[in-house]
Amino acid sequence: MSASAVAADTLTRIARLNPAINAFTDILKERALAKAQAIDQTRSQGGPLGPLAGVPFAAKNLFDVAGLSTLAGSKINRERAPATRDATALRRLEAAGAVLVGALNMGEYAYDFTGENVHYGDCRNPHDRSRMAGGSSSGSAAAVAGGLVPLSLGSDTNGSIRVPSSFCGVFGLKPTYGRLSRAGTFPFVASLDHVGPLARSARDLALAYDVMQGPDTDDPVCADRPVERATPLLDTGIAGLRIALAGGYFRAGVFPEVQTALARVAATLAIKAEIELPQPQMARAAAYVITASEGAALHLDRLRRRPRDFDPAVRDRLIAGAMIPAALVVKAQKFRRWYRTRVLELFERWDAVLAPATPCSAPALGQQTFVLDKVEMALRPNIGVYTQPISFIGLPVVAAPVPVDPLVVAVQVIAAPWREDIALRIARALEQMGVAAAPRPPPLT
Amino acid sequence: MKTPDSDQLAQFIDAAALLLNLPIEPAWKDAVKGHLEATLRLAASFAEFPLPDEAEPAPVFVA
């Protein structure tokens, strides 16, 4: 099958299915067909093809795409000048032969776990369109879950790849902080922002991850490390790996479907050990405070000039974030280093730790509260209670989807910094053992 | 860390909005107050955590 035929088929499928889930905000028909044609030409001339030759993908609309305004889910950014070049991650995927077919819906300015968006419409969960896709990389997860594209790019500051991966039932990789370049992406919280892929298998995650690695002088945070490919190690199995379940904070309050998923994974991997992370609730609180403060600082001028053009749910949180006393933010950053040191000590004894990605499966669109550990609380800010203590110190995580009743949920496979290969190997093993899978949704038309 | 009561927090928000030149319409105030209250409650959980004076913050984080 030619790349052109794959691209054309994908574009047709997007046109047919997207209205049901509202995952895309831009469809790049001409660009995709031209790129696919170039790949076919290279192939016919016997030229070199990349490992992702002809694979269609789409990117959360906070990635710069040449010719498009980088929306970041907002109304205000529509007025930005169109980007003059693609984000680094896009360029690297396309250099490997992947074909960009569109830009994806997301929560406004990435301050979101729901996938609801007042400006572009809510992104809907392909498995049940009355439910949330999760955010903020809502379109990235929904487009893959719905079979519109096999691969997407998202970003994760506090859980924005892992939460929608859990709600939509796809594999998501949040790499180590600094591993993948964020150059050409609209920021949210500089010291917490990551980018990463979402796909239907651990192998596809690894393939995309490998071609996006490498230093990038355009992102001062991007690590100056050589490429450490995960794909060659993917099928080496998990024999000898020391894997534990995160207990205490990470078990309190989870819904029955999440308990079921964790129990199934633990039984399959014969995990006996349950360990406590040091002060995870403080880590979550510190991540929350840093996010609110840094996010507010980023948007302060827009909040002054155009407060009515924000989603009210985002605006009110950002305004509150602007008022946090500086001493608390500094304390949060100091605590962060303490917590990192203690958690890294745990990784001297363990190769990976498993934890829930979300407290529950996808809530209904519009749902405002849920009961967590017997306390009713606001849903929107609290979906990330289990993801925030992990991204707070930049650990690599694969969200591995586990189909359970009533809907799929994901388990976080967490490894030590720079050991994405271990998290991917475990996710791959869970797939092979029949526990992790990206389930097909009911027909979307 | 002391938790301000509702009126004190409302006064703080008014003063901070003035200082930051942030327009807050009356209809938004309760939501802003709710978010700030929740954030300060979370901050209180680590605010008293004992750390030495030499503890280095991590504003530019290194994994």
Residue range A194-252, pLDDT digits in tens: 999 999 999 999 999 999 999 999 999 999 999 999 999 999 999 999 999 999 999 99
* Residue among A316, A333, A378 minimizing CB distance to B58: A333
- Answer whether residue B61 shows pLDDT above 90: no
Task: Please state, as a whole number, how many other Cβ atoms lie within 10 Å of the Cβ of residue A190.
Answer: 18
Q: Do A178 and B62 touch (CB under 8 A)?
A: yes
Res. B50 pLDDT band, cuts 50 70 90: very high
Task: Tell me whether residue A13 is exposed, middle or buried, using C-beta atoms within 10 angstroms of its C-beta: 0 to 12, 13 to 18, 19 or more.
Answer: middle
Q: pLDDT digits over B10-49, tens only?
A: 999 999 999 999 999 999 999 999 999 999 999 999 999 9
Rounded-to-integer distance, Cα A70 and Cα A155, Å: 14
CA distance A184 to chain B (A): 19
| Residue A276 banded pLDDT, cuts 50, 70, 90 | very high
Q: Which residues pair with A375 in a beta bridge?
A: A372
Check CB contact under 8 Å for B56 and A303. no
Query: Is-catalytic flag, A191?
Result: no
pLDDT digits (tens, 9 = 90+) for A322-334: 999 999 999 999 9
Mean pLDDT rounded to a whole number for chain A? 97
How far apart (Å, rounded) are the C-alpha atoms in residues A176 and B62? Answer: 10
Provide the token pair at A355.
């934890």
ipTM above 0.90, yes or no: yes
Q: Which residue of B has its CA nearest to A282?
A: B46
Catalytic residue among A74, A136, A155, A293: A136
d(CA A379, CA A370): 6
For residue A386, the SS3 value is coil
Residues of A in contact with B31 (CB under 8 A): 312, 316
Which DSSP letter does residue B55 get? Answer: P
Angstroms from A178 CA to nearest CA on chain B: 7
Question: Are residues B22 and A418, on separate chains, in Cβ contact within 8 Å?
Answer: no
CA nearest to A340 within chain B? B63
In A, residues 340-379, which contact B (CB 8 Å cutoff)?
A: 340, 378
Give the position of tokens 């004076």: B53
Say if A384 is an interface residue toward chain B (CB within 8 Å).
Answer: no
Nearest residue in chain A measured CA to CA from B48: A331
Does A178 contact B at CB distance below 8 Å? Answer: yes
CA separation for the pair A264, B4 (Å, rounded): 45
Please report the pLDDT score of residue A381 as a whole number.
86
Is A130 among the residues known to form the active site? no
| Cα A24 → chain centroid | 16
A chain contacts of residue B12, beta-carbon cutoff 8 Å:
323
B60/A191 Cβ within 8 A: yes
Yes or no: say if A431 and A201 are a contact pair by the CB < 8 Å rule.
Answer: yes
Tell me the CA distances in angstroms from A255 to A84, A159, A259, A351, A399, one per residue in order.
Answer: 46, 18, 6, 27, 17
A 10 A CB-CB count for A191 gives 20
Q: Could you tell me the pLDDT band of residue A153, with boundaries at 50, 70 and 90?
A: very high
| Burial letters A57-90, b for 16+ CB under 10 A, else e | bbbbbbbbbbebbbbbbbbbbeeeeebeebbbbb
Of all residues in chain A, what percent carry a pLDDT higher than 90? 97
Two structure tokens written together for B15? 């003063």
Helix and strand numbers (H, E) in chain B are 2, 0
Other CB atoms within a 10 A radius of the CB of residue A27 amount to 17
Q: Residue B1: which pLDDT band, with cuts at 50, 70 and 90? A: confident
What local confidence, expressed as pLDDT, does residue B2 receive?
Answer: 83
B43 touches chain A (CB under 8 A): yes
Options A160, A165, A166, A181, the catalytic residue: A160
Contacts of B43 in chain A (CB under 8 A): 285, 289, 324, 328, 331-332
pLDDT at B62 over 90: no
Residue among B8, B21, B39 with most chain A CBs within 10 A, to mutate: B39
**B9 shares contact with chain A (CB less than 8 Å):** no
Interchain contact B13–A (C-beta under 8 A)? yes
B27 touches chain A (CB under 8 A): no
CA-nearest residue to A385 within chain B is B42
CB distance B55–A221 less than 8 Å?
A: no
Q: Is residue A136 annotated as part of the catalytic site, yes or no? A: yes
pTM of the entire predicted model: 0.98
Helices A3-21 and A138-145: angle between axes, nearest 10 degrees: 110
Share of chain A above pLDDT 70, in %: 100
Return the bridge partners of A131, or none: A364
A369-391 pLDDT, tens digit per residue, is 999 888 898 998 899 999 999 99
pLDDT band at A341 (very low <50, low <70, confident <90, very high): very high
DSSP string covering A194-246:
EEEEEESSHHHHHHHHHHHBS--TTSTTS-------SGGGTTS--TT--EEEE
